């Protein structure tokens, strides 16, 4: 595709005009006639058995619709993977903020007091709050042993490397929970009609996840459940699985009342009750030769999944596969587990396990460098994966990636060497200390292993009466540019102007299941299907004799109009087919984990102010190889936004837990960076293409989440010569290590 006119250009965002004029319709902007407002009564205890529920005085309870678990006609479950999470707790409660019952009323102002007036009496049971408590089995709170899932990867002969090692380097690394903090809170509207069934409109990423969950909950067939995505104000994974829960609640109230019901969370409810990024602990033990080559290692990785399984097995999977990063491990054993605690279940958040295991690895690489006596640059160069070598899951690197060159480019752009030298000198006399840090990593795009095959995504393109075409996907727009890029792809494939391509609203009545909008798969995987389906439209018109093999846009439009006039609107479908040479063993966790990897090197320049112990970032360089950049402005926006979230993850965003409940559930004390806190973020791309992705694209949405934390902590260590191995790293932590501990050893994990 040498003469691309649309793909590769920064065309206007499809829904951009609506967004800048305030016309875009988010779920809370919609009202239906006769609509009620809904609210959720939640437990404040981490674990217990419900004894009695009392509806207190002072509330006109007869005006309220009340729904409990007893009102569920299907299964009291939010169907996802393990089907262990109830929609409404019935008997046992397993985490603070677990939903118990639902209320609805025409006047939304009466709901908060009504919620407060419901009192629930429990027999309290002992609860588990930390990973250590969970794995020590002091209480069994889930399954036989508190373990949602384990994985084990074995490559080579790890047990034999220790004797040959010149150095054995150990390290323990921790990451905390992180709140997605989309600026639009979760919300849903549900409506029920005995003939048509349930319809929900909401803020969500995956219409068909909600569809599946509602079928199970309400015991309805597929054609009696309809899910419609509204404009969604940010998601980042926080609206991947959680919307099924709030949709279920709205649906139950709608069924019981016979009226539409709207549930919109306020910020505090959203923060304390919905999913967050999984906290993690990684232990590395690595055998290294004296010239800095990794001989082998053991990696033990654990995530805290919260009280129910939800998506923890999949997060664990991605973390496991990324645990070895962009390096060649001749021998490795990775043991990974996801375990239960009595906290609200943790869930999807951009990166989905990879930021956690890559943080550990990239901190550990700097540690290895120190022990061996090499620079952070040199240790990486000596261990980077090269084309033809195999990853930890024995996937052969087939593309001509040159990580050394990528690293050199990042070093040059950030002026790394010169600055590092200058800072070393200046730090002797200056009250602020400066440092440089880097991280090198990769990120697999699309579902892992057989995941894409199992999804069997379907995409449609429709020829329309006006001569243009319409893309039919369940993939959703929530800022990352889905609508724009998929239309670009279709336009390019058909040789049409971008303006002649539209995309349908993600409505399960109108669009096929193109899979969830997650895993950085939309442009690469779904886009490629859009390309195929678009070409199918062309074939149809050519086969009908209405179009020649080469044509102008006007000719296409005329042909399309003609086809529609005679036979009605027509569609072309494309279904995902796994590439023949892609093989994955689910039992041994070995094989081609991902169809494509994006590769990156990030460099952070940091100042640590020793008056206030704050670390701030003065410059941030991000270099990544992403296959092909289909839309430069959108791509750059994705990287910059992901890095900003990564900076928040590292230096600002701390969830303060007490007995399993988040204590700082407000924007005033859960700290996200403002415009005054972020450095200039400088983004650079390289493009090697990708045979598996639309027009050579790879997924990039999650990649930028992996680099900032280790790059920044590597820079902080360079600045103050103290090893921090836990994020978030707050000024209080830096203070404790520098002033209180006064010792240059790894600071203890801070919870």
Partner 1 sequence: MTGSFSSRNPAPCDLSLTVNGEMKTVRAYPMERLLDVLRHQLELSGAKEGCGEGECGSCSVLLNGALVNSCLLPVLQAQGADIVTIEGLAPGPQLDRLQEAFLTCGGAQCGICTPGMILAAHHLLRRKPDPTMDEIREGLSGNLCRCTGYVQIFEAVAEAARRRVNS
Partner 2 sequence: MRSNPADYQLVAPAGLQAVLSLLAAEPGGWLPIAGGTDVMVQYAAGKLPARKLVSIWNLPELRRMEVLPDEIRIGAGCTYTELREHELVQREFTLLARAAAWTGGIANQNRGTLGGNIVNASPAADSLPTLLAYEAELVLVSVRGERRVPYRNFHTGYKKMELASDELIRTICLARRFSGHLAYTRKVGARNAQAISKVCIAALGRCSGGVVEDARIALGSVAPVPLRLMETERLVTGRPIDSSLLALARKAAVAEIQPIDDIRSSARYRSAVAGNLVVEFLEQLGAGENRT
162 binds, among partner 1, partner 2, none (CB under 5 to 8 A by kind): none
At 561, is the secondary structure helix, strand, or coil?
Answer: helix
Binding span for partner 1 by CB under 8 A among 433-441, 452-460, 575-583, 673-681? 673-681
SS3 state at 695: helix
Q: Measured from the CB atom, is 185 or 392 closer to partner 2? A: 185
Instruction: Considering the complex, state which of residue 20 and residue 676 has its C-beta at the smaller distance from partner 2.
Output: 676
Residue 179 or 702 having the CB closest to partner 2: 179
Residue 619 in the binding site for partner 2 (CB under 8 A) = no
Nearer to partner 2, 183 or 739 (CB): 739
Residues 676-695: x where in contact with partner 2 by CB under 8 A, - otherwise, as a string? xx------------------
Is beta strand 36-42 parallel, antiparallel or unpaired with respect to 99-105?
antiparallel
Minimum gap (Å) between residue 719 Cβ and partner 2: 17
Q: Does 736 bind partner 2 (CB under 8 A)?
A: yes
Positions in 572-611 near partner 2 (CB under 8 A): 610-611
Opening angle at CA 489, ends 488 and 494, nearest 5: 100
Note if the bond before 728 is cis, omega within 30 degrees: yes
* Partner that binds at residue 110, options partner 2, partner 1, none, CB closer than 5 to 8 Å by kind: partner 2
Q: Does 652 bind partner 2 (CB under 8 A)?
A: yes
Q: Which two tokens stand for residue 102?
A: 């639902």
Element (H, E) at 216: helix 207-218
DSSP run (H or E) holding 649: helix 632-651
Rg (CA), the chain: 26
Of 235 and 534, which has the nearer Cβ to partner 1?
235
CA separation for the pair 683, 685 (Å, rounded): 7
Which span sits near partner 1 by CB under 8 A: 42-50, 176-184, 213-221, 461-469? 176-184
In this complex, which beta carbon is closest to partner 2, that of residue 96 or of residue 347? 96
* Separation between Cα atoms, residue 77 and residue 70, nearest integer Å: 12
Q: 253: Cβ–Cβ under 8 A, 6 or more apart, which residues?
A: 36, 38, 65, 67, 102, 104, 190, 261, 263
Segment interacting with partner 1 (CB under 8 A) among 438-446, 555-563, 570-578, 637-645: 637-645
Report the nearest approach of partner 1 to the CB of residue 400 (Å).
30
- The helix (run of H) or strand (run of E) holding residue 357 is helix 354-372
Q: By the 8 A CB rule, do 596 and 657 touch? A: no
Please choose which of partner 1, partner 2, none residue 497 contacts, taking the beta carbon within 5 to 8 angstroms, the exact cut-off set by kind.
none
Q: What are phi and psi of 476, to 5 degrees?
A: -110, 155
Q: How far is the CB of 715 from partner 1 (least distance, A)?
A: 18
Q: Tell me which of partner 1, partner 2, none is bound by residue 182, counting a contact when its beta carbon lies within the kind-specific cut-off of 5 to 8 angstroms.
A: partner 1
Instruction: State the Cα–Cα distance between residues 213 and 409, nearest whole angstrom.
Output: 47
CA 282, CA 216: separation in Å to the nearest integer? Answer: 37
95 closest CA partner among 38, 34, 43: 43
CB 245, CB 143: distance < 8 Å: no
Residue 612: which of partner 2, partner 1, none does it interact with, CB under 5 to 8 A by kind? Answer: partner 2
Please provide residue 597's backbone torsions phi and psi, each rounded to the nearest 5 degrees. -115, 140
Asked if 110 is part of the footprint of partner 1 (rule: CB under 8 A), the reply reads: no
Among 6, 7, 13, 489, binds partner 1 (CB under 8 A): 13
Q: Which is nearer to partner 2, 52 or 668 (CB)?
A: 668
DSSP state of 159: G
Contact between 637 and partner 2 by CB under 8 A: the answer reads no
Of 18-26, 109-117, 214-222, 579-587, which segment contacts partner 2 by CB under 8 A? Answer: 109-117
Q: Does 26 bind partner 2 (CB under 8 A)?
A: no
Residue placing its CB nearer to partner 1 in the complex, 16 or 553: 16
Contact between 271 and 237 (Cβ < 8 Å): no
**In 524-652, alpha helices (H):** 527-543, 553-567, 632-651
Distance CA 702, CA 699 (A): 8
Counting Cα atoms < 13 Å in the Cβ hemisphere of 129 gives: 13
109 touches partner 2 (CB under 8 A): yes
Among 664, 690, 714, 725, binds partner 2 (CB under 8 A): 664
Does the footprint of partner 2 cover residue 404 (CB under 8 A)? Answer: no
CB atoms near residue 42 (< 10 Å): 21
From residue 576 to residue 615, the character string flagging contacts with partner 1 as x (rule: CB under 8 A) and all else as - is: ----------------------------------------
Q: Of residues 177-236, which lie at the interface with partner 1 (CB under 8 A)?
A: 180-185, 231-236
H/E element, 605: strand 596-609
Q: Which is nearer to partner 1, 641 or 707 (CB)?
A: 641
Left (φ > 0), alpha (ψ -120 to 50) or beta: where does 635 sit? alpha
Q: What is the DSSP letter of 747?
A: P
Closest to partner 2 by CB, 144 vs 676, is 676
Overall residue count recorded for the chain in this entry: 751
Residues 712-731 that bind partner 1 (CB under 8 A): none
Q: Please count the residues of this chain forming the interface with partner 2, following the rule CB under 8 A.
A: 31
44 lies in the site for partner 2, by CB under 8 A: no
* Residue number, 162 or 652, with CB nearest to partner 2: 652
**Site for partner 1 contains 672 (CB under 8 A):** yes
* Residue 479 binding partner 1, by CB under 8 A: yes
Size of site (CB under 8 A) for partner 1: 55
Specify the pairing of strand 584-585 against strand 590-591. Answer: antiparallel
Give the x/- contact pattern for partner 2 in 259-288, rule: CB under 8 A: -------x-x--------------------
**How far is residue 160 from each of residues 10, 164, 167, 390, 448, measured CA to CA in Å?**
53, 8, 14, 19, 30
Backbone angles phi, psi at 512, to 5 degrees: -80, 175
- ∠ CA 537-543-548 to the nearest 5 degrees? 85
Residues that bind partner 2 (CB under 8 A): 109-110, 112-113, 116, 266, 268, 610-614, 652, 656, 663-664, 668-669, 671, 673-677, 730-732, 735-736, 739-740
Residues that bind partner 1 (CB under 8 A): 10, 12-13, 15-26, 28-29, 180-185, 231-236, 266-267, 478-481, 633-634, 636-637, 640-645, 666-668, 672, 674-676, 678, 680-681
């Amino acid at each position: 595709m040498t003469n691309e006119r649309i793909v590769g250009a920064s065309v206007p965002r499809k829904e951009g005009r609506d967004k800048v004029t305030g016309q875009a319709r988010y779920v809370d902007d919609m009202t239906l006639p006769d609509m009620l407002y809904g609210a959720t009564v939640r437990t404040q205890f981490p674990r217990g058995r419900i004894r009695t529920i009392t509806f207190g005085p002072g509330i006109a309870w007869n005006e309220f619709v009340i729904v409990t678990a007893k009102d569920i006609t299907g299964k009291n479950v939010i169907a996802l993977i393990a089907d262990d999470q109830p929609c409404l707790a019935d008997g046992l409660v397993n985490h603070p903020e677990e939903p118990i019952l639902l209320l609805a009323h025409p006047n939304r102002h009466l709901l908060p007091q009504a919620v407060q007036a419901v009192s629930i009496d429990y027999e309290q049971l002992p609860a588990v709050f930390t990973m250590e408590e969970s794995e020590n089995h002091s209480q069994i709170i889930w399954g036989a042993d508190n373990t949602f899932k384990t994985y084990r990867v074995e490559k080579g002969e790890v047990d034999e490397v220790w004797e040959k090692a010149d150095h054995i380097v150990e390290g323990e690394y921790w990451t905390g929970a992180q709140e997605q903090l989309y600026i639009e809170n979760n919300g849903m509207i549900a409506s029920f009609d005995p003939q048509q069934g349930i319809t929900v409109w909401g803020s969500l990423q995956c219409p068909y996840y909600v569809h599946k969950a509602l079928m199970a909950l309400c015991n309805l067939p597929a054609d009696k459940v309809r899910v419609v995505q509204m404009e969604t104000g940010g998601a980042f994974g926080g609206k991947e699985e959680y919307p099924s829960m709030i949709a279920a609640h709205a649906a139950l109230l709608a069924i019981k009342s016979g009226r539409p019901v709207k549930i919109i969370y306020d910020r505090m409810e959203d923060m304390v009750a919905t999913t967050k990024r999984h906290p993690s602990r990684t232990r590395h033990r690595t055998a290294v030769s004296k010239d800095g080559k990794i001989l082998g290692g053991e990696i033990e990785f654990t995530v805290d999944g919260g009280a129910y399984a939800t998506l923890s097995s999949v997060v664990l999977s991605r973390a496991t596969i990324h645990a070895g990063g962009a390096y060649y491990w001749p021998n490795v054993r990775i043991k990974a587990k996801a375990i239960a605690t009595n906290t609200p279940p943790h869930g999807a958040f951009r990166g989905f396990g990879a930021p956690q295991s890559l943080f550990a690895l990239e901190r550990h690489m700097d540690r290895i460098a120190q022990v061996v006596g090499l620079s952070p640059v040199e240790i990486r160069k000596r261990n980077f994966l090269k084309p033809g070598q195999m990853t930890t899951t024995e996937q052969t690197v087939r593309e001509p990636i040159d990580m050394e060159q990528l690293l050199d480019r990042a070093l040059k752009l950030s002026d790394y060497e010169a600055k590092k030298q200058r800072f070393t000198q200046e730090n002797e006399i200056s009250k602020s200390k400066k440092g440089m840090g880097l991280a090198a990593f990769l990120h697999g795009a699309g579902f892992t292993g057989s995941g894409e095959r199992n999804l069997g995504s379907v995409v449609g393109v429709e020829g329309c009466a006006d001569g243009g075409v319409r893309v039919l996907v369940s993939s959703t727009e929530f800022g990352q540019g889905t609508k724009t890029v998929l239309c670009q792809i279709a336009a390019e494939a058909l040789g049409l102007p971008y303006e002649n391509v539209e995309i349908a609203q993600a409505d399960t009545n109108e669009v096929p299941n193109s899979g969830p909008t997650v895993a950085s798969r939309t442009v690469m995987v779904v886009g490629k299907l859009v390309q195929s389906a678009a070409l199918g439209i062309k074939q149809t018109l050519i086969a009908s004799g209405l179009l020649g093999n080469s044509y102008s846009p006007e000719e296409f439009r005329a042909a399309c109009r003609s086809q529609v006039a005679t036979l009605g609107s027509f569609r072309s479908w494309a279904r995902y087919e796994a590439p023949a040479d892609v093989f994955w063993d689910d039992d041994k966790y070995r094989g081609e984990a991902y169809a494509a990897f994006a590769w990156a090197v990030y460099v952070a320049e940091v100042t640590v102010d020793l008056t206030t112990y704050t670390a701030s970032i003065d410059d941030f360089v991000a270099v990544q190889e992403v296959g092909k950049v289909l839309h430069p402005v959108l791509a750059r926006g994705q990287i910059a936004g992901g890095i900003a979230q990564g900076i928040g993850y590292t230096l600002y965003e701390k969830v303060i837990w007490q007995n399993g409940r988040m204590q700082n559930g407000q924007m005033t004390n859960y700290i996200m960076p403002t415009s005054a806190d972020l450095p200039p973020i400088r983004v650079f791309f390289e493009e090697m293409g990708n045979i598996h992705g639309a027009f050579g694209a790879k997924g990039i949405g999650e990649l930028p989440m992996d680099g900032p934390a280790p790059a920044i902590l590597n820079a902080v260590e360079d600045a103050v010569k103290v090893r921090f191995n836990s994020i978030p790293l707050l000024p209080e932590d830096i203070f404790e290590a520098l002033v209180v501990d006064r010792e240059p050893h790894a600071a203890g994990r801070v919870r």
